[in-house]
Structure 1
Amino acid sequence: MTLHLFSSRINHRRFLVVPALLALLLSLAPEFALALAPPARTEAATVAATPPGAVISSGHRLATEAGLQILAEGGNAFDAAVAVSSTLSVVEPISSGLGGGGFFLLHDARTGKDVMLDAREYAPESATPAAFLDKNGELDRDRSVNGPWSAGIPGLPAALVELAGKHGRLPLAQSLAPSIRIARDGFPVYARMAKGYQSRREVMERYPGTRAVYLRNGKPIAEGDIFRQPELAHTLELLASKGFDGFYRGETARKLLKGVKQAGGRWTAEELAGYRVKQRTPLSFDYHGWKITTAPPPSSGGIALVEMLQILEPWKLEELDEAHRIHLVVEAMRRAYRDRTFFLGDPDFVDMPLAVLASRDYAQGLRATIHPDKATPSDLLSGKPTPLEDDETTHFSIIDAQGNRVGATQTVNLLYGSGLIPAGTGVLLNNEMDDFALKPGTPNAFGVMGYEANAPKAGKRMLSSMTPTFMESPDRVVVLGTPGGSRIITMVLLGILGYDAGLSPQQVSALPRYHHQWLPDVISAESGAFSTQVADALKAMGHEVDLPGDTAAGGRGSSHVWGSLQTVMWDRKAGTLSGGSDPRNPVAEARVVEQASP
């Protein structure tokens, strides 16, 4: 496996080796042999023709339509990404928006270069750890997830400007036109949106700006209502006409600052105007003949994928029974998530031993600690739990007729973010500050903890699980990604393994999902993901298995699924395009269109 990594701040002396207890575990384990194969050689990708058209998969059909419209008007994948992203910001306020941020993984077909636009939010100067403690010195939960103190400086509008200005072919105003129209004219409220509002209603109705958007004659939005957002349309129009200054300076900025101040928070004009998208070099490595390109820090996903796939690479997973295959994948997850907790953060602030974490020797050492028939207790991997990100995120994937591609994951964190819309903007602010370790060793909203590497500082970006990813083999090109909080990384892992096994995009998007994140020491799984026999076999190996929807397998009986994986594939050998839209999301859509390459 060849690895290409960029890290300007590597300090090997700060790296912590695998605990000695693991070596003891290995010495106590009986000898064993599993079906092993030498690492596959990566053959040079053949030069292929351009795709026969374009394909877009997104979390909402209106966003997919917006992207296809921009392609039909002469735009490329990057112009379409502006349209899809901004439209998702209008139609999926539960998941993302102009008040949030995201990661945009880009491939330029003309140059062959990959880049990631890091549009993650960052901490304002006022957001010190002490600002999130109550009078007893405990974490103030309400402040960390609700209202102005929970919001980082938004990054998504800057990413849209950067996409259009540096990568697109069309004016920003043209690519934003569909989202402006939909914000002004409205769209039908869907079930998840209405249900999510009810769960956040108490918080959202604290703020006059939010009430003005979400209440009609005192009544909240309901499924089937036409949801119009004229103030958001105006904010998008200012962004379209003035670019960066249309959001981060001038009228919109003044309204944002006023709304945050009136709600009790502290942002400054300098912090807004000082926001910049960061261009990051993606992580790139080989797995079974695939070139995998994925998100670098401050995403934790890429490094975790490198670790997990390098651990798994020598095993012939397809020759194992289902329980043992899941066992090995879970053990790889367990080890990668432990490292995620301690070492990863914003690369502009934190020294990270990326080269060590991603090395073949390190993966070999971790692999040697995995027993073929027994779970490794997580308390033998010393440490404490992992910072998370909520399920309410969104992802889209694009390939255009020139072979350009975009994988983008964007979010406002929790359901409807902070709940705060500064009056007159229509912009729902994120609550990403809770993704920092606001008080080391104290669980955040999801019952998990973080440490110094992910502590808040002015201008620092919080750790994320968002993992937009490309896969490329001699005959196939794939883009995939998903929402799902800390489960994003393991869903992308399962998607990669699915494509490696020869599945189609739709089959990959529908794969049953399971997850292990080191602590809590439990395999969580979707309803119906495991049969009773597989669950019993995993339990016999020492795994705790949480099956919420399957009472026959020992679960609690409530239905539970997660994620909304959106993926597209160009089969260069067959000359076809295809997309997979997650069946768990009834408003998502993948669509292929014929489009001549200019």
Structure 2
Amino acid sequence: MRVILRTLALAGLLASMLPLQACAEAEPQTGATPAAAAAHPPGAAIASAHGLSTDAGMEIIAKGGNAFDAAVAVSSTLSVVEPISSGIGGGGFFLVHDARSGRDVFIDARETAPAAATPEAFLDANGELDRDRSVNGPWSAGIPGLPAALVHLAETYGQLPLSESLAPAIRVAREGFPIYERLASGYERRREVMERYRGSREVFLADGDPPQEGEIFRQPDLARTLELLAEKGHDGFYRGDVADKLLAAVAEEGGQWQAAELAGYQVKERAPIQFDYRGWKVTTAPPPSSGGVAMAQILQVLEGWDLDKLDAVHRTHVIAEAMRRAYRDRTLYLGDPDFVKMPIARLTSLDYAAGLRAGIHPEKATPSDLLPGQLAPLEDEETTHFSIIDAQGNRVSATQTVNLLYGSGMVAPGTGVLLNNEMDDFALRPGTPNAFGVMGYDANAPEPGKRMLSSMTPSFIESDGQVAVLGAPGGSRIITQVLLGILAYDAGLGPQQVAALPRIHHQWMPDTIAAEPGALDEATVRGLEAMGHTVSAGERQWGNLQTVSWDKRANTLSGGTDPRNPVGKVGIRDAAGEVP
């Protein structure tokens, strides 16, 4: 229990933070205990943000599916039960490890910009950014990528037909599920926007009033859309009846999509970012995610200190300073690799990390305005993540989103598809803040078919004795959540403890260390302020980290689901059945 416990002042808090149910769900699955590391996991483990999605994945594992089939089931079911966070009208990233070949592959299903969505299209009569158009309705929506990812996973890596892996999501969409508090309260926050659109009213006001906690929420149109995807694959969404309805809905509300843009959408397979940290092999997200590059920079900067020997103030100081520099570089250099040339090898090199480290004063904060540059657009907080390991050793770390709460707020009538509002993640007007108070420049300006920059950071870490899969939602704070999770695993914590830890964050601009309740004690805050840091202690909690782990020496599986989200669940299964 070394670095992370002292860094976040948690030694006395940890036990009280873990809900009994969450701890029970995270108990390791027991297997044989060989002297050497096991070659394969003893079963399968899934952690996701909703119990029904975890159950869907376990159902597919029980039917002979592998981690990739289970990922289709979990992802599509999350799309049904978490419209506030993700859906087939959005996109995502899937980091996969194929045990048979030993390959690690990053599947990029990020949304793309329609040709009509030029920067000029988002300006008002005075030349200022039209905030309503950038976050609400059809102009805010990119071409969805998630349906293509589900098809690609099933056809390229799965063992079961797509129709079988989508069956749980179709069933939940048709039969319904109980509305939970976050779904109902999120609707109230977005109600004015959502009720502008005919398709949204038909879905969310089907019983005559807004969603209420405990009511059964049914989505028959979405069930039919998923059935067409199951039956026809890519063409079931991007061509034919669903595509026609999407195009008509966008046009009805004044937007401009082209049939060829839908039909032509394809996922991209990319090489992940990989580097070593203190005996761990870290595999993580490349651009158009900014997460992997930032993660490599931060961890490689921190390797220059023996964090165990630093007091809480100085440990937090150097971690915040490493975060500050990585987020600055995120802004200056990163974008869609198909459109922007980026010095990835240099940014992730040990020599570059040494240079960044040399600029950190051991006793003083570096004001962010002394690290000049421009600001970058950030991911939303209403994203979702799931993690999977199966008995063959396959792994999936997946993060998916529709951007803001309920995305654009607009459901295409007759489809059940809630469109994303990812266009706001582009730099729509250089130097103008987006919905999260941050801004971007040319590297992340929209172009036809271009993918907007993201913070989603699905990751694997592997040592001689352990493999862990982890990721989180949380906007720009995704990267630092995963970073702290890696530090926690390195400190010897179990997955449920990793998921529960209080969090700190610094993103260059604003020039502030943000901290959850319990993350920094008063003495540490005072010490950081004396160094020149601005500390926002006791902020509301953020994120929803989901993680699973395989202890290769004990040959056991365990998982952790974030207690900030009461509907998450860990599922573990061996030959004898599911273990709580």
TM-score by length of 1: 0.90
Higher relative contact order (Cα pairs below 8 Å, separated by 6+ residues): 2
- Return the match for 1:287 from 269, 272, 277: 277
Q: Any unmatched runs of 5+ in structure 2? A: 1-35
* Paired position in structure 1 for 2:557: 577
CA distance in 2, matches of 1:189, 1:500: 37
CA distance in 2, matches of 1:595, 1:272: 42
Contact 1:386 1:519 in 2 (8 A): no
* Paired position in structure 2 for 1:438: 428
Shift of 1:92: 0.3
* Paired position in structure 2 for 1:168: 158
Contact 1:386 1:517 in 2 (8 A): no
Contact 1:134 1:140 in 2 (8 A): yes
- Return the match for 2:330 from 331, 334, 340: 340
CA RMSD, Structure 1 to Structure 2 (Å): 1.1
CA distance in 1, matches of 2:555, 2:519: 33
CA distance in 1, matches of 2:532, 2:472: 30
CA distance in 2, matches of 1:51, 1:562: 32
Q: Deviations over 1:478-526 (max 9, x none)?
A: 0000000000001110001111111110111111101000011001111
* Paired position in structure 2 for 1:519: 509
- Return the match for 2:451 from 448, 461, 466: 461
Shift of 1:216: 3.4
CA distance in 2, matches of 1:385, 1:128: 20
Structure 1 runs of 4+ off > 4 angstroms?
Answer: none
Paired residues, what number?
Answer: 542
CA distance in 2, matches of 1:202, 1:218: 16
* Paired position in structure 1 for 2:491: 501
- Return the match for 1:534 from 524, 529, 549: 524
Does residue 216 (structure 1) correspond to residue 206 (structure 2)? The answer is: yes
Does residue 587 (structure 1) correspond to residue 567 (structure 2)? The answer is: yes
1:237-252 aligned within 5 A: 237-252=227-242
* Paired position in structure 2 for 1:236: 226
CA distance in 2, matches of 1:408, 1:432: 18
Structure 1 counterpart SS, 2:411: coil
Structure 2 counterpart SS, 1:386: coil
* Paired position in structure 2 for 1:86: 76
Contact 2:301 2:322 in 1 (8 A): yes
Shift of 1:47: 6.6
* Paired position in structure 2 for 1:378: 368
Shift of 1:319: 2.0
* Paired position in structure 2 for 1:39: none
Does residue 97 (structure 1) correspond to residue 87 (structure 2)? The answer is: yes
Shift of 1:125: 0.2
CA distance in 2, matches of 1:297, 1:332: 20
- Return the match for 2:101 from 104, 107, 111: 111
- Return the match for 2:288 from 271, 277, 298: 298
CA distance in 1, matches of 2:552, 2:37: 9
CA distance in 1, matches of 2:464, 2:59: 30
CA distance in 2, matches of 1:492, 1:375: 23
1:346-495 aligned within 5 A: 346-495=336-485
Structure 1 counterpart SS, 2:558: strand
Structure 2 counterpart SS, 1:106: strand
Q: Deviations over 1:282-341 (max 9, x none)?
A: 011111010000000000000000100110012111221112111110000000000000
Q: Any unmatched runs of 5+ in structure 1? A: 1-45, 550-559
* Paired position in structure 2 for 1:133: 123
Q: Deviations over 1:84-136 (max 9, x none)?
A: 00000000000000000000000011111000110000000000000000000
* Paired position in structure 1 for 2:10: none
Shift of 1:527: 2.1
1:253-292 aligned within 5 A: 253-292=243-282
Contact 1:401 1:595 in 2 (8 A): no
Shift of 1:389: 1.2
CA distance in 2, matches of 1:502, 1:512: 16
Structure 2 counterpart SS, 1:220: coil
CA distance in 1, matches of 2:41, 2:494: 17
Shift of 1:585: 0.4
Structure 2 counterpart SS, 1:216: coil
Q: Deviations over 1:534-578 (max 9, x none)?
A: 1111111110001245xxxxxxxxxx1000000000000011000
> Which amino acid letter does the alignment assign opposite residue 506 of structure 1?
Q
> Which amino acid letter does the alignment assign opposite residue 84 of structure 1?
V
CA distance in 1, matches of 2:110, 2:206: 33
- Return the match for 2:541 from 561, 569, 584: 561
CA distance in 2, matches of 1:246, 1:596: 37
Shift of 1:217: 4.2
CA distance in 2, matches of 1:300, 1:162: 23
